[in-house]
Amino acid sequence: MNLIDKKYIKRCFELALKGLGATSPNPLVGSVVVYNERIIGEGFHQKQGEAHAEINALNSVKERNLLPFSTLYVNLEPCSHYGKTPPCSLRIIDENIQRVVISNIDPFEKVAGSGIQMLLKAGIEVTKSVFEEEGAWLNRRFFTFHQKKRPYIILKWAQTRDGFIDIDRLHARNDASNWITNDELKILVHKWRSEEDAIMVGSHTVVNDNPQLNVRHWCGKDPIRVVIDTEHQLTDDSYVFDGTIRTILFVDKPYQTLHPSMEQIVMPIQDRLNFVMSALYVREVQSILIEGGQFLLQSLIRSHLWDEARVLTGNKNFGNGLPAPQINSLPISTKTIAGDTITTYINKN
């Protein structure tokens, strides 16, 4: 692995991130074509079902006579199977590319090294594992989905400086505000929503706050709304029943009438959280943002059923109220935005 290879794999990462929120259940992939240390083509996977990064990069090359003397860089192994698009490995072979540099082997069972083998059999030099750890982090949603057979789970909550996520609703004044963080973080959270396939809350959150669970403060796609309802207490005037966004209800008891955009799934009595994640996996939900209340969040933490946690600490105190979840991990990063703090944790269990 040399400095030149690192330089262009980093560029692949930059390109790949442009597809965040649009490629699922496919991975984030960027690709560059380099001749004599000069980029002559680049591209990224823009949307699920459309051309892959390597194809976009090769199609962007104007000096096509240089392709047989060029190196193709891509952060994930080129595919080798026919899906919604033909195999990228075949196109690379057809273009007479002589060297391919990648970051990660594709964990998808229909690829899983076969793309590399196809290139090697065609006489193409393959260099792999360039910034392998960084590449795995970039595609942590995709890797988790295929390796653990469940969505990548991101916990998110806002808490006060004195450790509460909600006011004492039984004793608080009617005009008491339970909003914790500033408007800049509200916009950021909506950006986060646009980057994930789904967003989950429990029925108590729906009853107490009637959230819309959309991205109205950001330009992007709305995530699938997922609600865990164990008490059959939701009402027709809840936003989750408005039919504007695909919604999945996990229930103990089915509702009689639902909008066609809604699906309800009856949960078993035992092991409900794993059942929910397995059901979402079958529906190709690659990642999910959990914005539930204290009970749901703490249950996921206790079950070790989470991958990443983003804790927003606002610059205010409640004095009393609903305590924030407790997480037994060391933070990997902390940053401050307009006086409020975002702390990120990773589950290494």
Residue 184 known to be catalytic: no
Peptide bond into 25 cis (omega under 30): yes
Instruction: Find, among 11, 13, 10, 34, the residue nearest to 98 by Cα.
Output: 34
Active site residue: 14, 42, 50, 54, which one?
54
- 3-state SS string for 244-283: CCCEEEEECCCCCCCCCCEEEEECCCCCHHHHHHHHHHHC
The number of beta carbons lying within 10 Å of the beta carbon of residue 150 is 20
SS3 42: strand
**Are the beta carbons of 51 and 86 closer than 8 angstroms?**
no
Task: Name 182's Cβ contacts closer than 8 Å, sequence gap at least 6.
Answer: 314, 315, 337, 338, 339, 340
Q: What is the C-alpha separation between 37 and 182, in angstroms, rounded?
A: 46
205 token code pair: 């959150």
Which are the catalytic amino acids? 54
